[in-house]
Amino acid sequence: MTTTIDGARIARDIRARVAERVAETAACGRVPGLATILVGDDPASAVYVAAKRRAIREAGMRDFHRHLSRHASGDEVAAVIDELAADPDVSGILLQLPLPAQLDAATLIDRIPAAKDVDGLTTASAGRLARGERGLRPCTPSGVIELLDAEGIELRGACVAVVGWGELVGRPLAQLLLRRGATVTVAHEFTADLAAVTRPADIVVVATGVRGLVGPEHVKPGATVIDVGIHRTPEGLTGDVRAAELDGIASRITPVPGGVGPMTIAMLMVNTLRAAEWNAVPKTVPA
Ligand SMILES: NC(=O)c1ccc[n+]([C@@H]2O[C@H](COP(=O)([O-])OP(=O)(O)OC[C@H]3O[C@@H](n4cnc5c(N)ncnc54)[C@H](O)[C@@H]3O)[C@@H](O)[C@H]2O)c1
């Protein structure tokens, strides 16, 4: 029998714990705050930013939002980032991607100080992750790790296949898993025989952006399958995995929607709280 991993419930629990902690820090006069920056009018980005802002407010944190015109120049966006970086009430800064074509995302992302990089996407945060130093980790891969932990799935010594080597998900996830003692194999678009890589794995994580890529031919009986992909179709949201075909084969599987997606927002809340705690300066100078 295949169990569906309830990412929505696990995410709700995490968000409730964050809200409790926020209430405690607020009682000490410090309220964490997230600044979201949206450039342009991409409808999907607007929906994602609205969901993040709603979650921030629900957690009791402060919601700082900036909406810039789709014609904004690099200097204008940089000035907004610099202003938020200097604001002690702003714990974290999130620059919603993708950006309009005239803007260089990598340069602007790197303008966010690592201490406020709640998306974990700056070069500094990536370097800290690679070296195992304290830092803010990208939300989706850390959400995958939280899901596996919440399900009580042992990572140390587990054989994990990560399908997809993208900067947002696959690459940081492989590093997080290695740090947890898993044996990690990474497959990508040039992998000659995907099934040969994924079939030995105890855990298969798929983050490729290729709808329905992984099916029963790729998964050994009893394995756990985590589907990171999100595709909007006329029938609703679906993932990179043919989930129905894995029923009775996988031991556990994440649904789309309701699996990894809610975890991404929950981990953004965790990162904002963490950034606020790490950046906290004493309100008074100790005697
Ligand atoms: N659930 C969430 O919250 C969330 C968050 C971020 C991304 N995503 C989804 O995760 C997916 C991956 O995102 P990304 O930003 O890492 O993508 P990306 O485009 O940066 O990387 C895709 C990776 O998949 C690999 N790939 C492509 N075709 C393949 C194939 N046929 N076989 C094996 N590997 C193949 C590529 O080599 C590449 O490494 C997307 O579907 C995205 O929508 C979901």
Residue 241 forms beta bridges with which residues? 214
pLDDT given at position 228: 98
Residue 52 bears catalytic tag: yes
- Tokens at residue 58, please? 């629900």
Mutating to test ligand 1, I would choose from 146, 189, 204 the residue with most ligand atoms within 8 A of its C-beta, which is 189
Residue 170 forms beta bridges with which residues? none
- Tokens at residue 258, please? 């309701």
Give ranges for CATH 3.40.50.10860 in the chain.
28-114
CA neighbor of 121 nearest in space, from 147, 145, 95: 95
Residue with tokens 């995490």: 14
Residue 116 bears catalytic tag: no
Cβ–Cβ under 8 Å, residues 131 and 123: no
Architecture label for domain 28-114: 3-Layer(aba) Sandwich (3.40)
Distance of CA 14 from the midpoint of ligand 1 (Å)? 25
pLDDT given at position 110: 98
pLDDT given at position 280: 81
| Cis peptide preceding 98, ω within 30 of 0 | yes
Is the distance from the beta carbon of residue 230 to the nearest atom of ligand 1 less than 6 Å?
yes
pLDDT given at position 283: 56
C-alpha triplet 285, 136, 75: angle, nearest 5°: 85
Mark the ranges of the chain whose per-residue pLDDT is less than 50. Answer: none
Distance of CA 284 from the midpoint of ligand 1 (Å)? 47
Instruction: Tell me which residue has its CA closest to atom 1 in ligand 1.
Output: 261
pLDDT given at position 200: 98
Is the distance from the beta carbon of residue 7 to the nearest atom of ligand 1 less than 6 Å?
no
43 CB-near residues (< 8 Å, 6+ apart): none
Catalytic residue among 117, 119, 202, 240: 119
Q: Which CATH class is domain 139-261?
A: alpha beta
- Cα separation, 178 vs 156, whole angstroms: 9
Distance of CA 229 from the midpoint of ligand 1 (Å)? 7
pLDDT given at position 12: 98
- Tokens at residue 247, please? 């029923």
Distance of CA 169 from the midpoint of ligand 1 (Å)? 7
pLDDT given at position 284: 59
Give ranges for CATH 3.40.50.720 in the chain.
139-261
pLDDT given at position 29: 87
pLDDT given at position 282: 60
Q: Is 230 annotated as a binding residue?
A: yes
